[in-house]
Homo-oligomer: A and B are copies of this chain.
Amino acid sequence: MTLTTDQFIAGARRAAGHATFQAEDAASGERLAPAFVEATPEEIDAACQAAAAAADRFADAPLATRAGLLEAIAEGLEARADAFVERAGAETGLPEPRIRGELARTTGQLRMFARVVREGGFLGVRIDHGDPDRQPAPKPDLRQRNIPLGPVAVFGASNFPLAFSVCGGDTASALAAGCPVVVKAHPAHPGTSALAAEAVEAAVADSDLPAGVFSMLQGAGHDLGAALVRHPAIEAVGFTGSQRGGLALQRIAAERDRPIPVHAEMGSVNPLFVLPGALADRPEAIARGLAGSVALGCGQFCTKPGLVFVRRGEGFETFREQLIQAVEAMAPAIMLHSGILAAFEAGCERLAAAEGVERLAAGDSAEHRARATAFITAAEILNAQPDLADEVFGPAVLVVTLDDATGFETVAEGLVGQLTAGIHARDSELDDQAALITRLEQRAGRVLFNGFPTGVEVGEAMVHGGPYPSTTDSRTTSVGTRAIERFLRPVALQDMPPAALPPTLRDDNPLGLPRRVDGVDQPGAAH
């Protein structure tokens, strides 16, 4: 397969840079051909300028054009499925079923946002009719709807080469909002990124939209990302990755002459609370389910459960034994790249060396492979060393035992912000756990029951977000239809002459939008 090694800038290829870099074969750590050219400062500027120049036309394009673009991208990705399996497989070590599954999720996400765009509820249309006779002062006519923020910089994530990368959730929701996108490809999968960029570029070219709606830049270091966030044409940032990376971008964004919002999803340990009744009823199922969730995708999910709280009561021994068995049976697994593998090994060593923490079980080991590991400690040890709860990205889990005197809600109180938190409980047990549930809702974006957090459903009601430090803005989600809200802001038009009103705000509602008129919700034509 021939991969484009240049930048994708507004429909054209540019490669003025002299620096190059290569991906590595995740399975072996060896370099993969070809060499990709790093974007130069001039190319970064060209991409951002093209995005800015495209912004007005994109914002004003018919909703059907915007929806059609998203659908065309989905088709273009599907046409490249085999290429993704081959190249993303090599670059990330992810197996074929996972890549095909992730592709389906990615195209599903794009089509979901196409529906969101066609339905038009995201515009949040509100009309308050005026009243010239009102006393003591006339009431103005006010019409509000959301408009796109403008060009968005999207950072590809290492662990989802499709669903959170070049045309993943951030790009899909930004395009759906009407924002041009400049992607920084993740340097661990530049070839996969180039394949995806081809699909987007072709879809834009086939549309009635300006080419500047999409650009993608390659680069191995931090300079490209920093330059993007600093660029005055960029109006918002979408990022999924490490806490260090996310906070660095937020700092840069805050230091601009004109600060911009950064939506960084920075991971989580996703604590699970196993209540005594559930532990007594289903110790084996919980242990097996936990092990499966920890090992899924080699533990490289933001929602991997890394912390499990249990009491040493009925069922505990079975849970413990089953967890040991399940972890010991785990085969050594390929990680996304050698840097992530090294960080995982360092994280496991840190836990193994910590006072009061025992290694409970480990899977088989092999060179250049991750070894699944379970650790165990007690709540008072964790309380004294809170950094034991730091995320270890990979197939590792820390079981924390509580003595009878310590309430689960007390432990929950001590946690930092999380993407998810889980409870395993008998239904009858939940009656007494209002405090725990409240605490977990305050600490997480999603609270789940009798399940495991990996597997993030893409839909209307999903929240993939949470309080700091799991994200930089708990009021949003990066998965699901509400992700579009990150890239919109409301604008009110006051007393605009009817003939000048945009179609979205006209009384006769030619687009059939759902809206709120004089305080009453009106359904859209889609229903």
What is the minimal beta-carbon distance from A68 to any residue of chain B, in angstroms?
20
B462 touches A492 (CB 8 A): yes
Task: Return the contact of A430 from the options B121, B468, B469, B497 (Cβ within 8 A).
Answer: B497
Given A127-B461, A136-B101, A461-B144, residue A446 in contact with residue B56 (CB < 8 A): no
A442: interface (CB < 8 Å): yes
A489: interface (CB < 8 Å): yes
A451: interface (CB < 8 Å): yes
Complex: how many Å from CA A500 to CA B495? 48
What residues of B have a CB within 8 angstroms of the CB of A111 in the complex? none
What residues of B have a CB within 8 angstroms of the CB of A482 in the complex? 144, 490
Interface residues of A in 202-256 (CB under 8 A from B): 254
B490 touches A459 (CB 8 A): no
Given A457-B139, A460-B516, residue A445 in contact with residue B261 (CB < 8 A): no
Task: Return the contact of A497 from the options B427, B446, B495 (Cβ within 8 A).
Answer: B427
What is the minimal beta-carbon distance from A77 to any residue of chain B, in angstroms?
19
Query: Size band of the A side of the interface?
Result: 35 or more
A468 touches B427 (CB 8 A): no
B463 touches A477 (CB 8 A): no
Task: Return the contact of A261 from the options B441, B473, B500 (Cβ within 8 A).
Answer: B473
Binds B, one of A20-28, A338-346, A519-527: A519-527
What is the minimal beta-carbon distance from A95 to any residue of chain B, in angstroms?
15
What residues of B have a CB within 8 angstroms of the CB of A451 in the complex? 140, 494-495
A259: interface (CB < 8 Å): yes
Ordered by A's residue number, 24 sampled pairs between the chains whose C-beta atoms are within 8 Å are: A128-B459, A128-B462, A140-B448, A142-B460, A142-B461, A258-B416, A258-B417, A427-B499, A431-B500, A437-B500, A441-B491, A445-B489, A445-B490, A446-B493, A447-B491, A447-B493, A447-B494, A448-B493, A460-B518, A463-B490, A463-B491, A467-B489, A521-B521, A521-B523
Interface, chain A (partner B; CB < 8 A) = 56, 59-60, 101, 121, 126-128, 136-137, 139-140, 142-144, 147, 149-150, 254, 258-259, 261, 416-417, 427, 430-431, 435, 437-438, 441-442, 444-451, 455, 457, 459-463, 465, 467-469, 472-475, 477, 482, 485, 488-497, 499-500, 514, 516, 518-521, 523-524, 527
